[in-house]
Structure 1
Amino acid sequence: MTGQNLGVGQNPNERRAIVCAVTADHAFALAALIAGFRRHNPDYTGAFVVLHDGLTMKDQGQLRVLWPNIQFRPFGRDVLAQRFGANVDLSTILQQVSPMIFAKFELPELLADCDKCLWLDVDMLVQGNLAEVWNFDVLAWRPLPQGAFARRAEVMESFADMRGDGRLPLLNGGVLGMGRGVKISTVDLYAMAARLIMQTSTTSVDELAVYFLAASRGVPVHLLDQRFNHPVVAAGARAALVVHAIGPDKFWNAAPLQLAYPEWAQNLQQWQGAGYAGPQRLADVQAATPDMALKAARNRAYWQQLYTDIRPDLPLCLQVDLQSDGKTLRFSHASTAQLHLTRQTNARRIGVELHFAEGESLGAALAARLEGAVIPDLLNDETLKLAQTKHGWSYTAVVPVGQCAQVMGALAQALDHATSRAKS
């Protein structure tokens, strides 16, 4: 992949390149990253280099609108096979990780045309100016906590001779700076990765290859502050310069992140190509719009407070599911039936429901117990209402909130009696 001049200038600030890798179906993610970077870094005059496995010329043209000084270099599985050679079986590792994790190994060769390179994963949101991130000479990364060694104990033991004095911390490879004089070549990185693939089962091949070569050769590493590569699940992400959506939940597919970081969608508006078309994650537990999120939070708060209030009076046979963002709080019973509480428009009233499946012997026993029955002193002499539901039948009533625990207890007692009768 040599021989492609970046066309950088002679000014040191111009002799820099930000390097990303992307599959053809995630061009939108790269576009959002560049748009966010451009918004917060108007003083950056360097290049972008994109390694890709088949971006269309149309997509390349649209990305060039976002950043004119951009170069595209092919990096598909064919390139990867050539780099590793025929003796390395990549089939297993490529079932576990994207081929694009290895694209960062191309950084040393890019240094033929520039003084410094900065690798950025495309699942990131730039929230500020990154001028300070360039304050490194040879290598730069954000260190992982010391516990990361314990999680990789087997690999650390196998490659103990590659750890130098053992003081260098492991890295998260989402942001990786590399400058001239690094004394680690692209060939070195692929060779180290090949050893890891053949001798271990680790999936952190890219990060560990960089780590072991730097540690064993005593390469000086500038440790980046977490604000330059801040995990999205860590506290303080809103104050970070770069937020990293590590793991399966991304800014484009996870409802909580879409709600928390609306500017990612604003960045994406600069892109005219195809967007994300896959499934959404976590929408069932976290609404993706502010109005629905507020309603969900209010419901959670309501149910948690109500359960705290009524818990002492509830029978032990009822097990609550407090993971409720909606208007229903569910309780399970040793039988297959469920008891529900439902919020009402009138805040002083609450719905109580007993649900059971169609055709159960339990239903007949419950009917004998509850049909036309009055729950003494609790329903103002009203009878429970029987209705057919999508999954079976239910007995329902609306009662004062202060009496719901007693009603739940009476229904649980009826369930216990009906369950015993159904078994006899």
Structure 2
Amino acid sequence: MTPPDHLQTPAARRIIVTGCDHAYFELVAELIASIRDHADTAIAVIDCGMTAGQRTALQAQGVRLLAPHIPDYAPRRALAKRPSLAINISKLWLDQMLPDFDLILWLDADTWVQDGQAPERMFAAAQSQTLAIVPEIGAKRADLLGVRWMCPGWMQIRSFLYKNATRARLPFAIRRRIGAKPLLNAGVFCLHRNAPIWPVLRRWQALILPRRHMAFTQDQLCIALAVYIDGLPVTFLDNSHNYIGPWLLDETTGTLANLFFPHAPVGIVHMASQKAMRSGLENTLTIPTVQGGQAAVNLRYGGMRARSAHAG
């Protein structure tokens, strides 16, 4: 159950965490600005290759900088080729990286906060030491499960979890149990530092991470295994708390709206798979509007701010 809007947790020991290299710095700067539009919650950034000037700029805003946590079993060759992979690895160590905070909300660098109540609900959902996360079900996709039909009556499961569990060489009994489950999107999640899931996540990580080609997606697979196989407690929040589309603009309010009626404002915008959008504010996407029209929109915080300013 999603906590009511008025439910807030004590702010003193809460923190929002993200991570970036120099290429994603502009997105992180927009994410921070969007957070500060609504609250003065503490913010930390895992530094995986920012420039000295970028680090100085964040510190001047009171942002805490963190070095990534790279366990001994991490694939060194993959990290040398793509250092930003250390961000995904570090997600499962945040309780140890931030021992002076009780509630830790992770937001990917390509997210931003449109409705300030969304982070509050994430914090509230995690207060009881359950994993607060959004399952990928509902408006995002027409087909809940990827399949390939082999012949009448026979099909092959092609879900994210099944494919990644196969690449991790997990037993078929595990692949069968998670293959048809919804992906738990690790781009947005919240946990109490005393939540029982942390060591379980790292146990799966120690098994999966050394295996070839698993560094990028291991965080989502570990979360799914901890929830679906080990049965660790989880609280699901609706897709507005990690909204990946389909995109809809409410021209009356100038906000991105949920596809589901009554088209409430999206809480946390996640620009997953929007490479062009992330790379420049001049890039736009034509999306429908609540009022029945169409609009060319840049989904970034900076793009939406510029659009509002121009409309005003």
TM-score range normalised by the length of the shorter chain: 0.5 to 0.7
Alpha-carbon offset, residue 235 of structure 1 = 3.7
- Structure with more relative contact order (C-alpha pairs < 8 Å, separation 6 or more): 2
Q: How does 1:272-291 map to 2 (within 5 A)?
A: none
26, 46, 61: which one aligns with 1:51: 46
Alignment equivalent of 2:272, drawn from 222, 238, 246: 246
CA distances 1:182-211 after superposition (whole Å, capped 9, x unpaired): 21336x544423432455655521110122
Selected match of 1:84 from 33, 56, 72: 72
1:238-275 CA-to-partner distances (Å, cap 9, x unmatched) read: 12122211123333337125951376336899xxxxxx
Of 121, 124, 131, the residue aligned with 1:132 is 121
Q: Call closer, same or farther: CA 1:162–1:136 in 2, change over 3 Å.
A: farther
2:183 maps to which of 151, 154, 170? 170
User: 3-state SS of the aligned residue for 2:25?
Assistant: helix
CA distance 1:96–1:144, shift in 2 (3 Å): farther
Tell me which amino acid in the other structure corresponds to 1:250. Answer: M
Identical amino acids, percent of aligned pairs: 22
Matches of 1:120 and 1:220 in 2, distance apart? Answer: 20
1:256 pairs, out of 279, 284, 291, with 284
Q: State whether structure 2 residue 203 is matched by structure 1 residue 217.
A: no
Match of 2:67 in 1: 74
Deviates more, 1:51-60 or 1:122-131: 51-60
Q: Deviations over 1:73-100 (max 9, x none)?
A: 122xxx52xx133xx5453587689412
Q: 1:52 to 1:71 in 2, by over 3 A?
A: same
The TM-score with structure 1 as length reference comes to 0.50
**Contact 2:283 2:298 (8 Å CA) reproduced:** no
Structure 2 equivalent of residue 185 of structure 1: 198
CA deviation vs aligned residue, 1:106-164 (integer Å, no higher than 9, x gap): 22224632221110011123212132222213211110234167424244463555589
Whether the 8 Å contact between 2:25 and 2:54 is mirrored in structure 1 is yes
| Corresponding position of 1:332 | none
Residue aligning to 1:61: 56
Q: Name the residue aligned to 1:123.
A: 110
What one-letter code is carried by the residue in structure 1 that aligns with 2:77?
A: S
Distance 1:53 1:201, change over 3 A: closer
**RMSD value, Cα:** 3.5
- The one-letter code sitting in structure 2 at the alignment partner of 1:104 is K
Paired letter, 1:84: D
Opposite residue 19 of structure 2, the aligned amino acid is A
CA distance in structure 1 between the aligned counterparts of 2:219 and 2:98, rounded to whole angstroms: 19
Name the CA shift for 1:74/1:164 in 2 (closer, same or farther; >3 Å): same
1:106 aligns with 2:93: yes
- Structure-2-length-normalised TM-score: 0.65
Q: Could you say which structure has the higher helix fraction?
A: 1
Aligned amino acid, residue 93 of structure 2: E
- Counterpart for residue 13 of structure 1: 11
Q: Quote the residue 2:22 is aligned against.
A: 24
How many residues matched?
Answer: 246
| AA at the equivalent of 2:198 | S
Structure 1: unaligned runs, 5 residues or longer: 1-10, 270-287, 289-424
Q: Deviations over 1:276-315 (max 9, x none)?
A: xxxxxxxxxxxx9xxxxxxxxxxxxxxxxxxxxxxxxxxx
Deviation of 1:213 (Å)? 2.1
